[in-house]
Amino acid sequence: MRLLILGASGAGKGTQAQAIAKHFDIRHISTGDFLREEIRPSTALCRAVKRLIDRGDLVPDELMLSIVHEILEGDDFILDGFPRTFAQALALDEICGRLGSPIDMALNIHVPDDDIIQRITGRKVCPDCKAMFHIIFYPPKQAFTCDNCGGTLEQRPDDTASTVRHRLKIYHERTVPIIDFYDRQNLLISTSGTGDVEEITQNLIELLEAKLLVAKLEKKMEKGIWR
């Protein structure tokens, strides 16, 4: 199964993608995590990319496409943080077409902007196992320590209130239009990302399974009618 997860910064893409990947036993690919891990500030290009990420700007499409092309090969996945622009959405279609494995469904999580600032500024991330915490909503049992692996929790450099406002502005301008791109292909599942994390996961899984079943039945009917 090949899934996308869309949503604003802090909507819970990473939190939900981790749970969905576990449920379906598929890879969770986060382009944000990939950039933070792989881009070491050892070259001028890497330093330039890090500056873009830290101030909340998008990394250029050409660079993102070369990265995604490499990491999409292989088994099933849920892709988090890509596409973010119309050009990326078109290129993803083309890459998946070439690999012979189209995207099955795009999940979209909606959270009001006012809630996002609180979520992002309180987020703590484990750099080792990528587990996500929140100082108020999902605090770790021991301050600064990951419940899963004991790693020391960190705050991302781009998690400041002013950077989040900038990331939200870019999200509305550049990424929101591609929600409609998947809706028009009947590949979109949209749900609210506000409330209990496990309930949101359960809701997404149920909507996804129902929509995949309908799509399968529709394909069978099409074949039956045309024969």
Query: Using CB under 5 A as the criterion, which residues of the chain lie in contact with Mg ion when the complex forms?
Result: 14
10 binds, among ligand AP5, Mg ion, none (CB under 5 to 8 A by kind): ligand AP5
What residues make contact with ligand AP5 under the rule CB under 6 A? 7, 9-15, 30-32, 35, 52-53, 56-59, 64, 81-82, 84, 88, 119-120, 123, 132-134, 137-138, 167, 193, 195, 197, 200
174 as an active site residue: the answer is no
159 within 8 A of 123, measured Cβ to Cβ:
yes
Sign of the CA dihedral with 210 first, then 216, 217, and 218 last: positive
CB 210, min distance to Mg ion, A: 26
CB 54, min distance to ligand AP5, A: 8
Q: Which residue has the tokens 């330093």?
A: 47
Q: Which residue is nearest to ligand AP5 (CB)?
A: 32
Other Cβ atoms within 10 Å of 153 Cβ, number? 21
The Cα-based distances of 133 to 129, 130, 156 in angstroms read 12, 10, 12
Give the Cα-Cα-Cα angle 15, 209, 18 (nearest 5 degrees).
15
What tokens does 134 get? 């929140």
Give the Cα-Cα-Cα angle 93, 194, 32 (nearest 5 degrees).
45
2 as an active site residue: the answer is no
169 as an active site residue: the answer is no
CB 204, min distance to ligand AP5, A: 11
27 as an active site residue: the answer is no
84 as an active site residue: the answer is yes
CB 21, min distance to Mg ion, A: 13
- Positions annotated as catalytic residues are 13, 84, 123, 156, 167
